[in-house]
Structure 1
Amino acid sequence: MVKWTDAAEKAFMDLQTAICSNPVLIAPDFNKEFILQTDASEIGLGAVLSQMVGDEEHPILYLSWKLLPREQKYVVVERECLAVKWAMETRRYYLLGQRFTFVTEHAPLQWMQQNKEKNTRVTRWFLFLQPFQFTIQHRAGSHHGNADGLSRVHCLMSKLPNPVVLSREGGDM
């Protein structure tokens, strides 16, 4: 549970200013490799699709999704795997047919590989990833703040006076 304090309000406003300052987002260049970062929290998923421009990584888009109550019961590594599957599925038209780098602070894909025979949900997720061509890069959690923050935004939204909440219908991804 997050306490919405004056410090939290200031941090939120600073973040809003930073996100709205140049460069906000760049247009994708399909001749360059994409970078996909994901994260999962107890309540949501976050992802960032970006590309390198010179020596700097620039975002193309930000994604955030609130977990369904049954998904919130998944163990940490299952939520991380769901974040990977969800991000690749929702942005497949950027990623299919070309190599990209997947950046994570956890090892969800290794866990998926080892547990795909034991869990039918994980098996489906693992099979879904097969058409994608990517390399995995580890990034320490302290440098993974953009996707990390997006996975937690739904907790903050519940503290706002009149939050806009998007929901989804249907079954497991």
Structure 2
Amino acid sequence: QAILDLKEPRTLKETNKFLGGIAYYRKFVPHFSHIAAPIHRISNLTKDRKHLFKWTAEHSNAFHALKHLLTTAPLFLHFPVDDFPLHLATDASGTATGGILFQDVNGERHNLFYNSKVLSPTEQKYSVPEKEALAIYHCLQRMQTLVLGRTVYIHTDHCPICGMLQKPVNNRRIERVANLIQEYRIAEMKHINGK
């Protein structure tokens, strides 16, 4: 009921309070960062630039979408089951990366963790393969406590990065990600069809 009673922020302080209050739930809500991105963009103003704060229809739509997800989506995640491999499905857009960690347990999908992260202005300029590789890195880094020491299958809709662990890549950023994720037991990177 408390979430339903939330009023739209009207100031920078109220906006930051709202984002801080719902930040815990980001791991339960798919695409959280992508949905919250418009609000994040105006919440990062410094004190001397707070006069630039302007709440628009775009921010209102994001606010109501987050409220709706937090009050209707099942906010439930499973604990990992030993003896079953982990699966990490990742994706990237122009503004955010995201992923879901799950297991197939006796034919039933168990969601373990959702992750999403807004890309920095510099990262938004990366090529599509670089963003897709970054999505894998962001997710593995955030889910490290669940993933380290376990077998993981990575699912990506971007086929060109599937081989980045087996052969050298002619891209410094992707090569760096490949080196950073060597500590994980990645059994295979599988290509899946995107939406």
* TM bracket, shorter-chain basis: 0.5 to 0.7
One-letter amino acid of the counterpart of residue 119, structure 2:
L
One-letter amino acid of the counterpart of residue 98, structure 1:
R
Which protein is bigger by CA-based radius of gyration? Answer: 2
**Are 2:175 and 1:123 aligned?**
yes
**Are 2:177 and 1:138 aligned?**
no
Aligned residue number for residue 72 of structure 1: 124
Q: Secondary structure at the match of 1:141?
A: coil
Which of 46, 51, 61 in structure 1 is aligned with 2:98?
46
Alpha-carbon distance in structure 1 between the residues aligned to 2:107 and 2:191: 18
In structure 1, stretches of 5+ residues that fail to align are 143-173
Q: Secondary structure at the match of 2:149?
A: coil
Give TM-score scaled by structure 1 length. 0.64
**Are 2:111 and 1:56 aligned?**
no
Aligned residue number for residue 155 of structure 2: 103
Q: Could you say what the CA RMSD is over the residues aligned between the two structures, in angstroms?
A: 3.1
Greater relative contact order structure (CA < 8 Å, 6+ sep): 1
More helix by share: 2
Give TM-score scaled by structure 2 length. 0.58
In structure 2, stretches of 5+ residues that fail to align are 1-37, 39-56
Alpha-carbon distance in structure 2 between the residues aligned to 1:8 and 1:90: 24
Which of 68, 73, 82 in structure 2 is aligned with 1:19?
73
One-letter amino acid of the counterpart of residue 31, structure 1:
D
Aligned residue number for residue 85 of structure 1: 137
**Superposed displacement of residue 97, structure 1:** 2.1
- Post-superposition Cα deviations, 1:23-42, rounded to whole Å, max 9, x if no partner, equal x2111223321111100000
Q: Secondary structure at the match of 1:129?
A: helix
Of all paired residues, the percent bearing the same amino acid is: 31
